[in-house]
Amino acid sequence: MTDVAGNAATWFVDRHPGEGRGDKVAFREAGGGRSLSYQGLAEGSGQVAAALRRAGVRPEERAAMLVTDTIEFPQIFFGALKCGVVPVPLNTLLAAPVYDAILRDCRATVLFVSEALFDTISSVLKGHPTLRVIIVNSDRAPEGCTSFDAFLRNAGTLETQPASDDEVAFWLYSSGSTGQPKGVPHVHSAMKATADTYGAHILGLREDDVVFSAAKLFFAYGLGNAMTFPLAAGATTVLFAGRPTPADMLAVMTAEQPTVFCGVPTLYAAMVAGMDKAGTPATLLRRAISAGEALPEDVGMRWEAHTGVAILDGVGSTEMLHIFLSNRAGDNVYGTSGVAVPGYDMRLVDETGTEVGDDEIGELLVRGASAAAGYWNQRKKSRTTFEGEWTRTGDKYERRKDGRYVYCGRTDDMFKVSGIWVSPFEVEQALVSHPAVLEAAVVAAPGEDGLDKPKAFVVLQDAADSGIAEHLKEHVKDRIGKWKYPRWISIVDELPKTATGKIQRFRLRGAGQ
Ligand code: 3SK
């Protein structure tokens, strides 16, 4: 049925003032920046909707959002939803040619862009084939663009328009670990589905929570953590527009006192290293979550020793919109991804599609109400990823007898040594458990016999001593067995990663020793 209740803006935004939350702060910018009340969000998004309508933007047209984590983000996102325009949040760390490809792929007619990001994208805007309206969040808009304030001025407000649960509400671009980003359309009901599953059962947000997500709003993980879940609970979100450096994250934790923190493994590892040196800040933290990559056991334990709060590691995807497999409070086992989030089902299958048993490795498939239906304009890739109700994750997992899932690697990252599967993640965990190691990535490389062996790229906590590589090899042998140890170890300054923090192992394959 198509009605106002089907529009996600009704539940996430419009209901709050009537429930007595009008004056409550929904979003506040870290460092004494601006704040936006629930009433302000309802009004601001209504104004954005009216201004889009006035500008002649029609329902189902795409509005690209190259917007940092500021109070404009939720107003634009829900403003678009309110008038049936489809917001497409973009990763803020890409380069101009990728923005060009995405804007052409989604055929955006509108672009909202933060002032700080305008220069990165400006070269692709001139003569763009579909863009008609460019709104820059700055006092003085560049030529051919409108400032955000001028765009909204005297626009009035637009009531939230009816929508069907099954209607596309917004798109995200999946960065994947390789290749060009793919457009992933999501329906209105998908946001509520993630709030009712992971948000309610694992995160368990309360109205008095203050949430801080280092993962940005353009990323499915950040969009749930810092926007839809707190709005579903009537809580408050702290927004941080800059790059999430470990030092800044610890400073925000001290200054803003969030009760819930959402990070990714590499950031947790660096924050733990920071706390080892500078001490643990006093916080009101009651929950910490991680996703994006499997969390090394050692990082979780060291974080918990510092803060007294467990990190609940989970796995999600842009295609499923948020986390579907997770540890939970009071039942957290580091080194595993936990069990299915209520509302989701899992299958592990081999190359022939046959289900594998406990303690065997297979590809993880997931089923749940938040799944996308396909990729935009990518029929072949859609058909191999979305199989009816099931979505292929591209991740290899092993289900233990106790029902917990253990991550083994991306399907294309796994390799065999002497005929036995090696999980790069297991070797990486063993390396990271050494106090000298900050991060590690492991890939297959051919030995003199032409057969694959593990090869490691390691970032150290501090300057290396000369015998460190041999020492680390022995450490891995002791932890996980003799045939899995890396035959070569390269000490590097950093690992190649996607903008969302996933290690790009494919870029290390074939890299020099
Ligand atoms: O990578 C993940 O684990 C993830 C989690 C939540 C939402 C989106 C993603 C990609």
Rounded distance between C-alpha atoms, residue 512 and residue 493, angstroms: 14
CB-based contacts of 501, cutoff 8 Å, min separation 6: 215, 264, 265, 266, 267, 292, 293
Quickly state the pLDDT bin for 502 (edges 50, 70, 90). Answer: confident
Which pair of structure tokens corresponds to residue 148? 């955000």
Q: Phi and psi at residue 392, in whole multiples of 5°? A: -75, 135
Is residue 56, in this structure, part of any structural domain at all? yes
CA-nearest residue for atom 4, ligand 1, is 316
> Does residue 330 come out as left (phi exceeding 0), alpha (psi in the -120 to 50 range) or beta?
left
490: containing domain: 415-511
In this structure, the residue with its CA closest to atom 9 of ligand 1 is 317
Ligand 1 pocket (Cβ < 6 Å) reads 220-221, 291-292, 315-318, 322-323
Q: At 442, which CATH number?
A: 3.30.300.30
**pLDDT at position 181:** 86
Q: How far apart are CA 336 and CA 313, in angstroms?
A: 8
Last residue of a domain, one of 164, 187, 210: 187
How far apart CA 126 and CA 123 sit, in angstroms, is 7
Strand intervals (E) in 143-199: 146-147, 163-164, 168-174, 182-187
Nearest Cα to Cα of residue 41 among 224, 321, 228: 228
81 inside domain: yes
Residue 491 in any domain: the answer is: yes
At 167, list the tokens. 């209607």
Cα of 502 to ligand 1 centre, how many Å? 10
pLDDT band at 342 (very low <50, low <70, confident <90, very high): very high
- Give residue 200 CA to ligand 1 midpoint distance, Å: 17
User: Looking at residue 131, what is its pLDDT?
Assistant: 97
d(CA 318, ligand 1 centre) in Å:
6
Is the per-residue pLDDT at 351 higher than 70?
yes
Q: What is the mean pLDDT of residues 465-483?
A: 86
Whether the pLDDT of residue 113 is over 90: the answer is yes
Nearest CA to ligand 1 atom 5: 316
pLDDT of residue 481: 74
Which one of 174, 323, 397 would you pick to mutate in the ligand 1 pocket, going by the greatest count of ligand atoms within 8 A of its CB?
323
Query: What's the pTM?
Result: 0.89
**To which H or E segment does residue 62 belong?**
strand 62-66
Q: Which atom of ligand 1 is nearest to the CA of 292?
A: 1
Asked which of 67-81, 158-172, 335-349, 444-458 is least confident by mean pLDDT, the reply is 444-458
**In the predicted structure, residue 177 carries a pLDDT above the cut 60:** no
How many whole angstroms from 496 Cα to the centroid of ligand 1?
18
Q: Is residue 111 part of a domain?
A: yes
What is the atom index within ligand 1 of the atom nearest the CA of 174?
10
Task: Tell me which of 184, 315, 364 to substitute to probe ligand 1's pocket, judged by most ligand atoms within 8 Å of the beta carbon.
Answer: 315
Closest atom of ligand 1 to CA, residue 502: 1
In total, how many domains does the chain have?
Answer: 2
Q: Is 343 left (phi over 0), alpha (psi -120 to 50) or beta?
A: left
Distance 220 CA to ligand 1 centre (A): 6
Confidence of residue 420 (pLDDT cuts 50, 70, 90): confident
- Position 69 pLDDT exceeds 90: yes
The mean per-residue pLDDT over the stretch 217-228 comes to 97
Average confidence score pLDDT of the chain:
94
Whether 100 is covered by a domain: the verdict is yes
Paired tokens of 53: 């309508």
Q: Are 491 and 468 in contact (CB under 8 A)?
A: yes
* Best residue for ligand 1 mutational test, from 173, 184, 216, 221 (most atoms within 8 Å of Cβ): 221
Assess if residue 78 is contained within a domain.
Answer: yes
Last-in-domain residue among 126, 156, 187: 187
Length of the chain as a residue count = 513
The verdict on residue 449 lying in a domain is yes
Distance CA 309, CA 38 (A): 29
Q: What is the CATH number of the domain that holds 146?
A: 3.40.50.980
Pairwise pLDDT comparison (179 vs 422), residue with the higher score: 422
Q: Which residue's CA is minimally distant from atom 10 of ligand 1?
A: 317
pLDDT above 90 for 211: yes
Write down the pLDDT at residue 233: 98
For 248, residues 6+ apart whose C-beta sits below 8 A from its C-beta are 240, 242
- Which of 219, 319, 385 for mutating ligand 1's site (highest number of atoms within 8 Å of CB)? 219
- Report strand pairing: 62-66 vs 86-89: parallel
Q: What is the DSSP letter of 189?
A: H
Distance from residue 340's CA to the centre of ligand 1 (Å): 14
Q: Whose CA is nearest to atom 1 of ligand 1?
A: 292
List Cβ neighbours of 307 (8 Å cut-off, separation of 6 or more). 280, 283, 285, 288
Ligand 1 centroid distance, CA of 58 (Å): 31
Assigned domain for 397 exists: no
Contact 145, 131 (CB under 8 A): no
Select from 468, 454, 431 the least CA-distant residue to 509: 454
Closest ligand 1 atom to the C-alpha of 291?
3
pLDDT at 383: 96
- Tens of pLDDT along 245-264? 999 999 999 999 999 999 99
Q: Which of 11-15, 135-139, 480-484 has the lowest mean pLDDT?
A: 480-484
Cα 293 to averaged position of ligand 1 atoms, centre (Å): 8
Choosing from 155, 187, 219, the residue where a domain stops is 187
Q: How large is the average pLDDT for residues 275-295?
A: 94
